[in-house]
Amino acid sequence: MKSPQLILLCLVLIISVQFAELASGQTGSNVPDWSVGMVWYQIFPERFNNGDSSNDPTKDRINAPDGWEITPWTGDWYQRAGWEQRVGPRFYDHVRMRRYGGDLQGVIDKLDYLTELGITAIYFNPIFDAVSLHKYDASYYHHIDRHFGPDPEGDLAIMQQEDPADPATWQWTSADRLFLQLLEEAKKRDIRVIIDGVWNHSGRDFWAFRDIQEKGEESAFRDWYKIIEFGDAWSDGFDYEGWWGYKGLPEFTETDDNLHPAVKEHIFHVTHRWMAPDGDVSRGVDGWRLDVAEEVGLGFWREWHALVREINPEAITVAEIWDDAARDYLKDDLFSIVMNYRWAYAVHDYFINRKISARDFNRRLQSLRNDFSDRVNHAMQNLMDSHDTERLASMVVNRDRDYKEGSKIENISNTYNVNSPDEEGWNLVKLIALFQYMYKGSPMVYYGTEAGMWGADDPDDRKPMPWPGMEFDDEINHPYSRDRNRDPVGFNSHMHQYYTKLGLIRNQHPVVQNGSFTSLLAPSRERVFAFARHDDDNHMVIVILNSEMEEKTVNIRTDLLSGYQDETLTDLLSGEIVNILPGGRIQASINPVSGMVLVRVP
Q: Taking a C-beta distance cutoff of 8 angstroms, is the pair 515, 534 a contact?
A: yes
Give the pLDDT of residue 12: 38
Give the pLDDT of residue 15: 41
Domain 516-602, CATH: 2.60.40.1180
> Residue 421: phi, psi to the nearest 5?
-70, 160
Give the integer Cα–Cα distance in Å for 201 and 251: 4
Q: Taking a C-beta distance cutoff of 8 angstroms, is the pair 265, 140 a contact?
A: no
CATH number, domain 33-193+257-502, options 1.10.1740.10, 3.30.465.10, 3.40.190.10, 3.20.20.80:
3.20.20.80
Q: Is 148 helix (H, G, I), strand (E, B) or coil?
A: helix
Residue 178: what residue type?
L
Residue 320: what residue type?
E
Q: Is beta strand 577-579 parallel, antiparallel or unpaired with respect to 568-571?
A: antiparallel
Residues lower than pLDDT 50 in the chain: 1-23
Q: Taking a C-beta distance cutoff of 8 angstroms, is the pair 104, 175 a contact?
A: yes
Give the pLDDT of residue 410: 87
CA distances from 460 to 42, 319, 390, 394, 431 (A): 16, 24, 8, 10, 24
**pLDDT tens sequence across 521-560:** 999 999 999 999 999 999 999 999 999 999 999 999 999 9
Q: Which of 52, 47, 147 minimizes the C-alpha distance to 108? A: 52
- 519-522 — which CB contacts under 8 Å span 24+ positions? 519/362, 519/366, 520/556, 520/558, 521/358, 521/554, 521/556, 522/357, 522/358, 522/359, 522/361, 522/362
Every domain of the chain and the residues it spans: 33-193+257-502, 201-251, 516-602
Q: Regarding the domain delimited by 201-251, which CATH topology (the fold level of the hierarchy) does it fall under?
A: Oligo-1,6-glucosidase; domain 2 (3.90.400)
Phi-psi region of 508 (alpha: psi -120 to 50; beta: other; left: phi over 0): alpha
Give the integer Cα–Cα distance in Å for 256 and 258: 5
The radius of gyration of the chain from alpha carbons, rounded to an integer in Å, stands at 25
Give the integer Cα–Cα distance in Å for 15 and 19: 6
Q: Which of 354, 326, 328 minimizes the C-alpha distance to 340? A: 326
Give the pLDDT of residue 24: 60
Sign of the torsion angle spanned by Cα atoms 353, 355, 359, 365: negative
Give the integer Cα–Cα distance in Å for 12 and 377: 21
Residues sharing a CB contact under 8 Å with residue 135, sequence separation 6 or more, in sequence order: 45, 46, 125, 126, 127, 128, 145, 196
Give the pLDDT of residue 10: 42
